[in-house]
Amino acid sequence: MWAVEFRPVAHQSGAVGSSSPVFCCRTPGRIHRQRTSVMPLLIKNGRVVTADSDFHADLYAEGETITRIGRDLEAPPGTEVIDATGKLVFPGFIDPHVHIYLPFMGTYSKDNYETGSKAALVGGTTTLIEMCCPSRNDEPLAAFELWMSQAVGKSACDFTFHMGVTKFDDGTEAQLREIVARGNSSFKIFLAYKGAFGIDDTELYRTLKLARELGVIVTAHCENETLVAERSKELLAAGVTGPEGHHDSRPPRVEAEGVHHLMSFAELTGAATYIVHLSCKEALAEAIAARQRGVRVGVETLIQYLLLDKSYAERPDFEGAKYVMSPPLRDKRNQSVLWSGLKTGLIQTVATDHAPFDFVTQKPMGRDDFTKIPNGIPSLEDRVNLLYTHGVRRGRLTLNQFVDVASTQAAKLFGLFPRKGTIAVGSDADLVVFDPAWFGTISAATQSMAVDYSAFEGWPLEGRVDTVTVRGEVAVRDGKFVGTLGRGQYLARPAVH
C-alpha cells in the first residue's frame, strides 16, 4: 500500500480562510525523539499557511513541539514571544537534496555543517537531507558513520541522509539493511559519473529489489553516463573546452534516457523511486509516462532550473563555470514546463542540490577542459526566498503550493511527516516567520554559505525569511543567525514505501 500518492493532486487555492485550520494532532507512527530543554514559545497574530490551510492564529510551543493553536493564546512568564503581525508563518522548509560534505571531482565542496546549517536556517530551511556519497572503494556503513560525524554536534538544523549506493557487492546488502535499521530510509544512486559514483545495471537492479523489500525509496541522478562520456570526448576533440561545452555533452535526451532507464528498472522491481534534479521537458515526459503505467516515481526540480538557463553557462571569460552543474542549465523554454509541473502536482519538490565550489580556486580546475569543472551551483540559502519571489509573487504558485513543494511533499516522501512539513499540534515547532514586505537583493558579500560567489548576485527579493525556530528555539532573528551549533538532530525515519 502506498503511503504517498505520486499522481497529480489538485492543489487548493491559497485564499485566506479557504480551508479549515489544522487544530488536531496527526501523529500516527511517531518517530522517537530526543528532547532538549527549551523555553516556551508563542508566535502571535501571524497568518499561518500550510500546504492545505491558511488562517490567522497564535502558535504556542513547549518542549520543542507545537502544543496549542488558537486565537489570543496566553503564555506563562518566561515565554519567548514573537509578534508576527503582518507576517506569514510557514512550517520549517525542507531541502531534500543537499551536499555539505562532498568529496567530488578531485576536491571537496566548500561548506561544512557549521556554515551549511547556518545558511540553511537563514534561508528558512530547518531540515536538510544530505546525500551521503561514498566512493566505490568505501564500505557503506563506514561512509554513513563518516557523514554522520560531519553533522552530529555541529549542525544547527535538523538533518538526515539519502544513503548513496555507489556499488552493490557481496558485502553491501547487510550494511544497507543496518543503515535502514538506523532510520536512514532512503537510498541515492547515480546513473551518471562513470568511474566515480555511477553504478552498473546489475547493481541498479539489486539496489531497487532491496529497496522494494525494505520499503525504502530510491532517489536517482538520471543521465546516461556512456552518452556523456562519448559526447564529452567528441566536443573536446573538436576544440570545445570551455563551460559552454558542458550542456552539449549532456543534452536533454541524455537525461531523458536516464529517466527512461530508471523507470524500466522501477517498473520491473516495483521499487519506489524519486528523480532528483530534473531539468527538462523530455525527462519529465518520461517520468509522467512511467507514472501512467503505474511506476512509483516522485520528481524533484531545483530552484536553479526554474530561474537560470543555459545562457548563464555560456558567459565569457570562464564566468560560465559558476553555472556548471549536472544535469546542465537548460534552454529557457523548459522553465514554464517546470513551473507548470509544480502547479499541477506532476513535480513534487523544489530542492537546491547545493554543491558549493569556489570560483577563484576550484572551478578553474576545469579551465582548459569543461569535464573537469567541479559540478554544482550553491543555493541552499536562497531557495525559499527566490521561490517566494518568483513563484508566489509572480502568481505561478499559491501560498499553499509554495509550502507543499518546499516542505510538505518532502516530509511525506521521506518519512518525516507530520513531525516535519506542517503546522499542527504535535508537530515539531520548526516555524518560519516570513516578512512579505521586505525588499532587498542577494549578494555573496552577505551570504552565510562558505563560497566566494552567488549565482544570483544582485537578484532582487520581494519578501524574506525573518525569524526561524528549530524545535521551539529561535535560530534566526531579523534575518540573522542566532541559533545553536550542534543542537541539530539526526532524524531517524521509518521506511514508508
Q: Does 325 engage in binding with ligand URP (CB under 6 A)?
A: yes
Instruction: Give whichever of 188 and 260 is closer to ligand URP, judged by the CB atom.
Output: 188
Contacts to Zn ion from residues 343-362, by CB under 5 A: 353
* Residue 99 makes contact with ligand URP by CB under 6 A: yes
Q: Which is nearer to ligand URP, 249 or 467 (CB)?
A: 249
- Helix ranges, 78-224 (H): 113-122, 140-151, 172-181, 201-214
Q: What angle do CA 194, 197, 199 make, to 5 degrees?
A: 70
- How many amino acids of this chain bind Zn ion (CB under 5 A)? 2
**Residue type present at position 138:** D
Q: Min. distance of Cβ 198 from ligand URP in angstroms?
A: 10
What secondary structure does DSSP assign to 340-356, as a single string? HHHHHTSS-EEE--B--
Interaction between residue 326 and ligand URP (CB under 6 A): yes
Binding mask 335-354 for ligand URP (x = CB under 6 A): ------------------x-
Which residue of this chain has its Cβ atom nearest to ligand URP in the complex? 375
Q: State the nearest-atom distance from the C-beta of 458 to Zn ion, in Å.
A: 26
Nearer to ligand URP, 42 or 325 (CB): 325
CB 116 within 8 A of CB 371: no
Asked if 186 interacts with ligand URP (CB under 6 A), we say: no
Cβ proximity to ligand URP: between 109 and 155 the closer is: 109
**Given the complex with ligand URP, which of 62 and 452 has the nearer CB atom?**
452
Sheet containing strand 273-275, edge to edge, reads 93-98, 125-132, 158-164, 186-190, 217-221, 273-275, 297-302, 349-351
Question: Is 375 one of the binding residues for ligand URP (CB under 6 A)?
Answer: yes
Cβ atoms of 72 and 58 within 8 Å: the answer is yes
In the complex, the smallest distance separating the C-beta of residue 221 from Zn ion, rounded to whole angstroms, is: 3
Nearer to ligand URP, 272 or 355 (CB): 355
* Range 325-347 burial, b when 16+ CB lie within 10 A, else e: bbbbbbeeebbebbbebbbebbb
Exposure string over 7-39, b if 16+ CB within 10 A, otherwise e = eeeebbebeeeebebbeeeeeeeeeeeeeeebe
Using CB under 5 A, which of the segments 220-228, 316-324, 360-368, 395-403 binds Zn ion? 220-228
| Least distance CB 471 / ligand URP (angstroms) | 28
What does 217 interact with, of ligand URP, Zn ion, none (CB < 5 to 8 A by kind)?
none
Question: Do you know the residue count of the chain?
Answer: 497
Question: What whole-number distance in Å separates Cα of residue 295 and Cα of residue 166?
Answer: 23
Determine, following the binding rule CB under 5 A, whether residue 221 of this chain makes contact with Zn ion. yes
Least separation in angstroms between residue 219's CB and ligand URP is 10
In this structure, what are the phi and psi dihedrals at residue 363, rounded to the nearest 5 degrees?
-55, -35
Binding stretches for Zn ion (CB under 5 A) = 221, 353
Binding stretches for ligand URP (CB under 6 A) = 99, 221, 277, 325-326, 353, 355, 375-376
